[in-house]
């Protein structure tokens, strides 16, 4: 990571010093030189330590910098899907899929976001996710497609 404050923030978080980690991250955010990758990594670390609200804030900051960034979009979309906020998840994923239409994880997340309302579109996104080399993404996409097939055969 290029930003010293983010690196130190992650070290502090791993050491269990949440207050110090948050202070360092806030300081880095004020400087405004954190990369999308750094924001995503810190959000991942924060969420892993039970700080979902702060993780969400960091992901939104990353997407404000680069709305088409697929990885932070997928994570933030999943946070929304967990709360049954499917429309918000789909809206977050649209710029990422516009920039990278074949991104497997973004397609899997979009398939989940559309599953209840637009099964045919959801299946099209699941089909793209099924082409991934990651066995876990493929398995999730295949399982979702099986369920969707009961409602929207090809």
Model pLDDT for residues 6-16, shown as the tens digit of each residue: 778 778 877 88
User: 110 and 96 in contact (C-beta within 8 Å)?
Assistant: no
Query: Which CATH homologous superfamily contains domain 67-153?
Result: Tetratricopeptide repeat domain (1.25.40.10)
Q: Do domains 1-66 and 67-153 have the same CATH topology?
A: yes
**H or E, element range at 80:** helix 70-82
Helices 36-48 and 18-31, axial angle in degrees (round to 10): 160
**Phi/psi zone of residue 125: left (φ > 0), alpha (ψ -120 to 50 degrees), beta?**
alpha
71-85: pLDDT as tens digits: 999 999 999 999 999
Q: What are the backbone angles phi and psi of residue 13, rounded to the nearest 5°?
A: -65, -45
For the segment 137-148, the average pLDDT, to the nearest whole number, is: 96
pLDDT at 62 over 50: yes
Read off the pTM.
Answer: 0.86
> pLDDT class for 1, splitting at 50, 70, 90?
very low
Provide CATH code, domain 1-66.
1.25.40
How do the domains of the chain map onto residue ranges? 1-66, 67-153
């Amino acid at each position: 990571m290029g930003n010293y404050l983010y690196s130190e923030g992650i070290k502090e978080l791993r050491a269990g010093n949440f207050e110090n980690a948050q202070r360092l991250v806030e300081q880095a955010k004020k400087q405004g030189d954190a990369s999308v990758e750094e924001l995503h990594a810190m959000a991942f670390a924060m969420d892993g330590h039970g700080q979902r609200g702060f993780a969400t804030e960091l992901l939104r900051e990353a997407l404000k910098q680069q709305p088409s960034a697929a990885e932070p979009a997928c994570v933030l979309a999943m946070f929304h899907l967990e709360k049954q906020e499917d429309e918000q998840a789909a809206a977050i994923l649209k710029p990422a899929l516009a920039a990278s239409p074949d991104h497997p994880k973004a397609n899997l997340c979009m398939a989940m976001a559309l599953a209840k309302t637009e099964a045919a579109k959801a299946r099209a996104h699941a089909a793209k996710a099924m082409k991934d080399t990651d066995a876990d993404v493929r398995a999730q996409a295949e399982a979702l497609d099986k369920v969707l097939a009961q409602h929207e055969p090809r």
